[in-house]
């Protein structure tokens, strides 16, 4: 039996045509009311612990919910204009959309640009993002990925402390601001991906437990008790998050959801919550005629998340592949500690190019056990790769970007390594011009004890990694301001050149089937020197190419047997065109000299 109507939102305050219907789940309450600034109106008890009533509230009206003499914001509020502890506001979710001709492209066409709304522009709003859409389009981006937008305490946060999953953060522009941004993106031919968090809820302003058993102590996550997806009362909790996923697609025209850290979703039900979300999203797709993508972040190397439901899989469309990142960064010289300890550089990068997962059933030294599953039969377009993202930058103590850790030549090499892969490429805001702005961890909690706990937690997290320097204060506005992109640097040396280089890489990937194809059967690799020399071969009908990587700091020879005379050099990252030391002199067509920290891409037809 279907518990959720995909055609309309069934929980929270639904406002249509000057009337509103409120439905809230509070199974233990003896009585429930909706409070306005002038009145208090009773809610009627319904089956399964729901309370509801038709109301004469209009868009913009303030309201709260009273349960047994205690007053709270609406847990399914669409707007919190004051703060996470105060009044909820009625929102009419209708919008004058102009994107009727928009068609969500297949994931194979996605080139992701991950951004944080608050730090992407000086304004720190959806309007600030809108102002840069032409820039993203000219760069070659096809999908804008927004970090989480759920209402969080204060005005500064990564978004992973959201406590009102249905409320678009007010300081960014709220629901209408997001709808306008999505509409403009579609006008420009850009898909929109939204990062959502279903594995935990932030600590400040989290009133869910006051309404019902939204959490269970059966399991623990790094952030506390797990969301209750399989314990008593879990049907209604599951419906809460299913309704959330459907709302973004149906009411905000989002094209894809990126589900954060699904390995932290604990669910032993016969039907996993991800499977159920997939079913409802498919039902919505059948109703609207639109196609929606579900992407997961997962560190389990478990193909069940991608396998079809007929194989008892969760049928997610794609997943972030951190192991590609780890292997790539070890090639670049990152110290093999922490999550890099299990990766040896070129050999594991070569395996990632071929097999997606490095650990696909082989023994892991750090885990002291075999780990992962094979990815045979899964198209390359089921995986998303990157050389940096918000986690890999912001989870460093000082939030240093790759541009602060590696040479300009290595930045170009890392970028090429991502764009020639058989997987979907993602770049993190500002990466494409080597932004020097840090991306640090920031919050704006109002609870002093919680703030102190976060500060101490950050210090403890990095105590074994850094001997010098103080951990930036996550509560300080300076930490947030330091994380904003400085767009004035874009036209300066050498940022402009790197931007042109990224634009070239993206255009080359789009143009060559051998590169944008997700067919992994044409992928071959050869590690010619374990210290840092790797060859990657890609092919498609009528096209063959080889990518020659030199991750070392010395000139290196590499042999390419059988390289035809009609081969064309598409890219030399060391060329003067790209502010490099210049193309190395060649001794013979098949014995090639590479400059330090460089890549050559050679094509033949």
> Comparing C-alpha atoms, which of 515, 4, 577 is closest to residue 244?
4
- H-helix or E-strand containing 547? strand 543-550
Beta bridge pairs of residue 40: 35
> Residue 18 and residue 40: Cα distance in Å, rounded?
19
Q: Which residue has the tokens 């069934």?
A: 10
Known catalytic residue at 297: yes
Classify residue 23 by burial, with Cβ atoms within 10 Å: 0-12, 13-18, 19+.
middle
3-state secondary structure at position 592: strand
The CA-based dihedral angle spanning residues 254, 520, 372, 258, taken in that order and rounded to the nearest 10 degrees = -10
Active-site hit among 74, 260, 302, 409: 260
φ/ψ of residue 596, rounded to 5? -60, 145
| DSSP-assigned letter for residue 66 | E
The answer to whether 208 touches 201, Cβ cutoff 8 Å, is yes
Which pair of structure tokens corresponds to residue 158?
């990564």
> Comparing C-alpha atoms, which of 385, 408, 602 is closest to residue 498?
408
3-state secondary structure at position 403: helix
> Residue 369 and residue 366: Cα distance in Å, rounded?
8
Which pair of structure tokens corresponds to residue 523?
């992928």
> Comparing C-alpha atoms, which of 364, 377, 361, 382 is closest to residue 326?
364
3-state secondary structure at position 365: coil
Classify residue 513 by burial, with Cβ atoms within 10 Å: 0-12, 13-18, 19+.
middle
Which pair of structure tokens corresponds to residue 508?
């080359």
Tell me the CA distances in angstroms from 109 to 49, 106, 509, 556, one per residue in order.
Answer: 44, 6, 10, 35
> Residue 322 and residue 392: Cα distance in Å, rounded?
9
CB neighbours of residue 377 within 10 Å: 8
Known catalytic residue at 260: yes
Helices (H), 194-265: 208-211, 234-252
Cis peptide bond N-terminal to 494, omega within 30: yes
Active-site hit among 114, 251, 297, 597: 297
Which pairing describes strands 143-146 and 112-115: parallel, antiparallel, or unpaired?
A: parallel
The answer to whether 52 touches 46, Cβ cutoff 8 Å, is yes
Concatenating the DSSP letter of every residue in 227-238 gives E-SSSTTHHHHH
Task: Using only the alpha carbons of the chain, give its radius of gyration.
Answer: 25
Strand ranges inside 308-462, DSSP E: 318-320, 362-364, 369-371, 383-385, 424-428
> Residue 427 and residue 418: Cα distance in Å, rounded?
9
The catalytic residue positions are: 260, 297
């Amino acid at each position: 039996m279907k518990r959720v109507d995909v055609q309309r939102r069934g929980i929270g305050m639904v406002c249509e045509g000057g009337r509103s219907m409120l439905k809230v789940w509070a199974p233990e309450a003896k009585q429930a009311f909706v409070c306005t600034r002038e009145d208090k109106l009773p809610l009627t008890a319904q089956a399964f612990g729901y309370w509801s009533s038709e109301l004469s509230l209009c868009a913009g009206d303030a309201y709260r919910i009273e349960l047994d003499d205690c007053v709270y914001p609406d847990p399914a509020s669409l707007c919190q204009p004051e703060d996470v502890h105060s009044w909820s506001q009625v929102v009419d979710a209708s919008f004058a959309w102009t994107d009727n001709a928009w068609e969500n492209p297949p994931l194979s066409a996605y080139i992701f640009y991950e951004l944080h709304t608050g730090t992407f522009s000086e304004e720190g709003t959806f309007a600030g993002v809108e102002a840069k859409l032409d820039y993203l389009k000219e760069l070659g981006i096809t999908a804008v990925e927004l970090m989480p937008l759920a209402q969080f305490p204060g005005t500064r946060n990564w978004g992973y402390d959201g406590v009102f999953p249905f409320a678009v953060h007010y300081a960014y522009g709220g629901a209408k601001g997001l709808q306008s941004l999505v509409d403009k993106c579609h006008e420009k031919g850009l898909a929109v991906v939204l990062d959502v968090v279903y594995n935990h809820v932030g600590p400040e302003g989290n009133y869910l437990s006051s309404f019902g058993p939204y959490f269970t102590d059966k399991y623990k996550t790094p952030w506390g008790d797990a969301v209750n997806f399989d314990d008593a009362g879990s049907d209604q909790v599951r419906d809460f998050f299913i309704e959330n996923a459907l709302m973004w697609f149906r009411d905000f025209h989002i094209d894809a959801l990126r589900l954060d850290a699904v390995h932290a979703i604990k669910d032993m039900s016969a039907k996993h919550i991800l499977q159920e979300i997939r079913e409802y999203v498919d039902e919505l797709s059948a109703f609207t005629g639109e196609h929606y993508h579900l992407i997961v972040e997962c560190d389990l190397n478990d193909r069940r998340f991608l396998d079809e439901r007929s194989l008892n899989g969760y049928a997610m469309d794609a997943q972030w592949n951190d192991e590609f990142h780890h292997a790539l960064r070890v090639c670049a010289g990152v110290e093999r500690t922490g999550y890099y300890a299990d990766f040896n550089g070129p050999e594991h990068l070569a395996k990632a190019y071929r097999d997606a997962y490095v650990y696909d059933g082989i023994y892991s030294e750090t885990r002291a056990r075999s780990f992962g599953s094979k990815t045979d039969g899964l198209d390359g377009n089921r995986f998303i790769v990157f050389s940096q993202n918000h986690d890999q930058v912001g989870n460093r103590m000082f939030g240093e970007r790759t541009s602060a850790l590696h040479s300009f030549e290595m930045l170009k090499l890392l970028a090429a390594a991502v764009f020639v892969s058989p997987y979907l490429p993602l770049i993190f805001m500002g990466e494409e011009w080597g932004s020097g702005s840090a991306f640090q961890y920031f919050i704006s909690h109002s609870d002093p004890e919680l703030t102190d706990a976060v500060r101490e937690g950050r210090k403890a997290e990095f105590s074994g990694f850094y001997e010098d320097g103080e951990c930036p204060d996550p509560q300080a506005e300076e930490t947030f301001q330091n994380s904003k992109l400085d767009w004035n640097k874009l036209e300066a040396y050498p940022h402009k050149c790197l931007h042109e280089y990224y634009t070239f890489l993206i255009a080359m990937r789009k143009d060559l089937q051998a590169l944008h194809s997700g067919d992994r059967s044409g992928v071959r690799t050869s590690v010619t020197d374990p210290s840092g020399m790797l060859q990657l071969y890609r092919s498609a009908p009528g096209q063959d190419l080889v990518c020659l990587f030199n991750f070392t700091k010395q000139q290196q020879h590499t042999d390419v047997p059988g390289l035809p005379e009609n081969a064309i050099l598409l890219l030399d990252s060391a060329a003067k065109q790209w502010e490099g030391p210049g193309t190395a002199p060649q001794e013979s067509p098949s014995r090639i000299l590479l400059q330090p920290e460089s890549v050559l891409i050679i094509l033949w037809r």
